[in-house]
Amino acid sequence: MTQNATAATNGCIFCAIVARQAEASMVYEDETVAVWMDLNPVTHGHLLVVPRGHAEGLEDLDPATGAHVWSVGHDMAQALRRSSMGCQGINLLVCDGEVAFQTVPHFHLHVIPRYSGDGLGEPFKVDPPEREKALRDSDARAIRCALSSPG
């Protein structure tokens, strides 16, 4: 049984779609990813770019697959802009982890077309206070340390 078929039998809806065990409005497919219309779109034209192999989050993606997801996302954004749908902007969004609002535990890139008056407000418009330089420096050190440590 393939990885996708195994994951599909384990309840992953995205693996089931990739394995043709569940339906979706498919836009594009290649050997690495599949792209389909979001079932519950934020705006009309909302696409999902999904790796064929099951990967729950960013850490589970190999670099080549991750790069390909973003490359295909770029192509989809261009196609949306060129389409007859009247798209005026694009948001690319990854929700990695439950606290980040990931609702399907299979990595995916949202390609969300934006339209004047679509009612979505500006993302992250919370007007956060400026973080002190010493705290930013401490955060930067922690991230640099994680970059140099083995996974």
Please identify every residue annotated as catalytic. Answer: 108
Give dist(CA 120, CA 107) in Å, integer.
23
> ∠ CA(13), CA(18), CA(22), 5° rounding?
50
CA–CA distance, 23 with 25 (Å, rounded to integer): 7
Within 8 A by CB and 6+ apart from 18, the residues are 4, 8, 34, 50, 52
